[in-house]
Chains A and B, each alone.
Chain A
Amino acid sequence: MTRVSDLGTHWEVTDPARLATMIRLRALRMVAPHGFGYLGQALSSAEQLAALFTVMRPGLDRLVCSPSHYVIGFFAAAAELGILSEDDAETYGQDGSPIEAIGTERSPVMDYTCGSLGQGLSAAAGFALADRLKGKDRRTFAFISDGELEEGQIWEAAMFAGHHRLNRLTVLLDANNSQVDGPVDTITTIEPIAAKWQAFGWTAQDIDGHDVDAVIKALAGAAEGDQPYVLINRTSTRHGLDCLPADADGHFIKLPPELAAAAEAELTGRLERRDG
């Protein structure tokens, strides 16, 4: 199975906004057979992933997914773009399948992922450093989550990348204010996020993470400065699926058959109307 940076890997994104909706729909179909799962992660990251696959150069740039509970969205995007087979995507989370619900070393699509939180940025910094040492024209994109900012290793990596001015490293930070025990801000104060990264030698920008065009624009220009770049995407784990109850647990959404059917109808209807 393929990783995005493998030589010869190819895909093309023609309509990023539509891709975001298709990521949501496919993730829904991957979770529905289980009755629960990491759907909220796909909902909050759908536009970021659509933008990422729009900007990344196939077969060259590298991709890190630090919080492995999010791999569902990466797998969904990869299945829509022909990087992962639909048959493989359908085995998501099943006994004996390599398409594991919490991504691991053997997961396809990403160049690196780790189910133990807060470790991915170090790997991304290592990739960016290796490319610099080898003189390669390559970018590394790292996806991280706001909850992960509670782990100390994130800040070790941030300091390292800032010190070494790893300007080919671009971070998408999904700020959905969700972790297992509840809203991040009720557990640990992580704000001001942008100012922290800036103090560590990064260029930081804070945007609406569901505005796919804004995310694309930011990512495209992110490697032009002389510092690593972090894009702080303000998002919601319920975005783009109006039928979810207001109290749905963003980390692990319960999806009984009736709700799954309503979600399927909502998303397919949106695609048919061609408005998302």
Chain B
Amino acid sequence: MAELNQPPYPTVLKPYGQSLVALAKERDDVLCLTGDLSKQCEIDLFADAYPERFIHAGMAEANMMGVAGALARDGFVPYVHTFGTFATRRPLDQVINAIAFPNLKVRIMGFMPGVSSPGGPSHQAIDDVALMRAVPNMTVVDVADAVEGRQVASAIVDVDGPVYVRLKRGEIPVIFGADHRLRLDRAQPLTPPGGDVALLASGMMVAPALAAARLLGSHGVDVSVVNVPVIKPLDAATVIAAATAAKVVVTAENHTVVGGLGSAVAEVVAEAGLGRPLRRVGLRDTFAEGARTGPYLFGAYGLSTQALADAAWTALGRRDRVPVATVAAAEEGEYSPV
């Protein structure tokens, strides 16, 4: 089984930004585009290392996507950076027509997923996975930690078509061991197969999924946690295997439950005719709000360890009291899911 750290997780800064610089050293076709927000997207490192391959497009996302498409037509591999909302909502028409339909190798890096931003609905990418998943040719990736964040740039560089990646901003937790490999073709069981609950999680919900599995396990409920970094194309075989082995299926995403991981899993499980009860944990078809902190929003909008335990408990038809989750205390520089 996967080697996993235990919460509170250590954190690191700019694992993606460092890896993009390393990739650019090997690959002179890699370009870095930014729509402002360069430090926030970790690419101030790239600007320092390769200023001639760093292109500042200003706050002009529609134009940036059109330019990136043409750069890809001429053989470059542009990595385009901004917050997830501004990468998907505003330039959606340009992403579709200038990048996805011609199936070009543009890598769209959307930072600050879901309610990890306390900046309110305009800054909270709660629908980016759904938007990008609906676009033909697009690969959609939601990485879980710094180990995957460090690998994603090179993992996607040769994908034959556009890729959208969600990346957490700021302090990035280290959940996986050093031997962990991000694979675009496989979802990964992180725990031994559990006979009760298949808990499928992506991105920032992997940490609370592991915590919920530990909590439920200590109360006699067997949970298998599957890390699903690639939401499209979804690894249907692994999803079906996990769902088949369990009584119920729970999905966990830092995103609306409409159109993201939960929807993708529901489609696969239904088409396979498995007939497993399914609970989707995510934002309940609602916008969130501005706040002081992201963790407050994870609690307020049902993205907590407790919310996952509740979902599994009710899916199993349990009428007794749900085990109560406790949050691992985190010092400065550490990360614990709520």
| Chain B 119-135 near chain A by CB (<8 Å), digits 1 or 0 | 11111000000000000
A115, B290: Cα distance in complex, Å: 10
Contact A102–B58 (Cβ < 8 Å): no
A115, B119: Cα distance in complex, Å: 8
Minimum CB–CB distance from A58 to chain B (whole Å) comes to 27
Contact B60–A152 (Cβ < 8 Å): yes
Contact B122–A68 (Cβ < 8 Å): yes
A96, B36: Cα distance in complex, Å: 29
Contact B119–A147 (Cβ < 8 Å): no
**B residues near A181, Cβ cutoff 8 Å:** 34, 36-39, 56
| Chain A 41-83 near chain B by CB (<8 Å), digits 1 or 0 | 0000000000000000000000000001000000000000000
B328 at the interface (CB under 8 A from A): no
A95 at the interface (CB under 8 A from B): yes
A23, B63: Cα distance in complex, Å: 37
A170, B49: Cα distance in complex, Å: 44
Contact A102–B119 (Cβ < 8 Å): yes
Contact A180–B40 (Cβ < 8 Å): yes
A94, B60: Cα distance in complex, Å: 30
B292 at the interface (CB under 8 A from A): yes
A34, B296: Cα distance in complex, Å: 15
Per the 8 Å Cβ criterion, residues 187-201 of A in contact with B are: 187-188
Q: Which of A114, A148, A180 sits near B122, CB closer than 8 Å?
A: A114
B86 at the interface (CB under 8 A from A): yes
Per the 8 Å Cβ criterion, residues 157-210 of A in contact with B are: 179-181, 187-188
Q: Which of B39, B63, B85, B290 sits near A101, CB closer than 8 Å?
A: B290
A150 at the interface (CB under 8 A from B): yes
A118 at the interface (CB under 8 A from B): yes
How many B residues face the partner with a CB closer than 8 A? 29
**A residues near B36, Cβ cutoff 8 Å:** 147, 179-181, 187
B180 at the interface (CB under 8 A from A): no
Closest to A104 in B: B120
Contact A93–B292 (Cβ < 8 Å): yes
**A residues near B119, Cβ cutoff 8 Å:** 101-102, 115
Per the 8 Å Cβ criterion, residues 85-119 of A in contact with B are: 93-97, 100-105, 114-118
A6 at the interface (CB under 8 A from B): no
A105, B290: Cα distance in complex, Å: 11
Contact A102–B86 (Cβ < 8 Å): no
Closest to B91 in A: A152
**B residues near A34, Cβ cutoff 8 Å:** 292
**B residues near A226, Cβ cutoff 8 Å:** none
Minimum CB–CB distance from A166 to chain B (whole Å) comes to 24
**B residues near A103, Cβ cutoff 8 Å:** 120
Minimum CB–CB distance from B27 to chain A (whole Å) comes to 25
Contact A96–B291 (Cβ < 8 Å): yes
Contact A102–B292 (Cβ < 8 Å): no
Q: SS class of chain A's interface: helix, strand, loop or mixed?
A: loop
A23, B18: Cα distance in complex, Å: 42
Q: Which of A94, A95, A100, A150 sits near B58, CB closer than 8 Å?
A: A150
**A residues near B300, Cβ cutoff 8 Å:** 96
A151 at the interface (CB under 8 A from B): yes
**A residues near B291, Cβ cutoff 8 Å:** 93-97, 100
A148, B86: Cα distance in complex, Å: 14
Contact B59–A150 (Cβ < 8 Å): yes
B289 at the interface (CB under 8 A from A): yes
A148, B58: Cα distance in complex, Å: 10
**B residues near A150, Cβ cutoff 8 Å:** 58-60
Contact B296–A180 (Cβ < 8 Å): no
Contact B292–A187 (Cβ < 8 Å): no
Contact B120–A95 (Cβ < 8 Å): no
**B residues near A95, Cβ cutoff 8 Å:** 291-293, 296
Contact A152–B292 (Cβ < 8 Å): no
Contact A115–B122 (Cβ < 8 Å): yes
Residue from A94, A97, A102 whose CB has the most chain B CB atoms within 10 Å? A102
Minimum CB–CB distance from B303 to chain A (whole Å) comes to 15
**A residues near B144, Cβ cutoff 8 Å:** none
Q: A93-B292, A100-B290, A101-B290 are in contact. Are A179 and B59 (CB under 8 A)?
A: yes
A90, B40: Cα distance in complex, Å: 28
Minimum CB–CB distance from B94 to chain A (whole Å) comes to 10
B62 at the interface (CB under 8 A from A): yes
Closest to A96 in B: B291
Contact B120–A117 (Cβ < 8 Å): no
Per the 8 Å Cβ criterion, residues 1-59 of B in contact with A are: 34, 36-40, 56, 58-59
Closest to A180 in B: B36
**A residues near B118, Cβ cutoff 8 Å:** 101
Q: Which of B56, B59, B86, B121 sits near A147, CB closer than 8 Å?
A: B59
A24, B37: Cα distance in complex, Å: 26
A97, B39: Cα distance in complex, Å: 28
Contact B60–A151 (Cβ < 8 Å): yes
Contact B120–A100 (Cβ < 8 Å): yes
Contact A148–B59 (Cβ < 8 Å): yes
Q: A100-B290, A187-B58 are known contacts; what are 6 more A-B pairs with Cβ within 8 Å?
A: A93-B292, A95-B293, A101-B118, A101-B120, A104-B120, A115-B122
- Can you list 16 A-B contacts (CB < 8 A)? A34-B292, A68-B120, A93-B292, A95-B292, A96-B300, A100-B120, A101-B120, A102-B120, A102-B122, A115-B121, A151-B59, A152-B62, A180-B38, A180-B39, A181-B39, A181-B56
The 3 closest A-B CB pairs, nearest first, are A115-B122, A100-B290, A188-B58
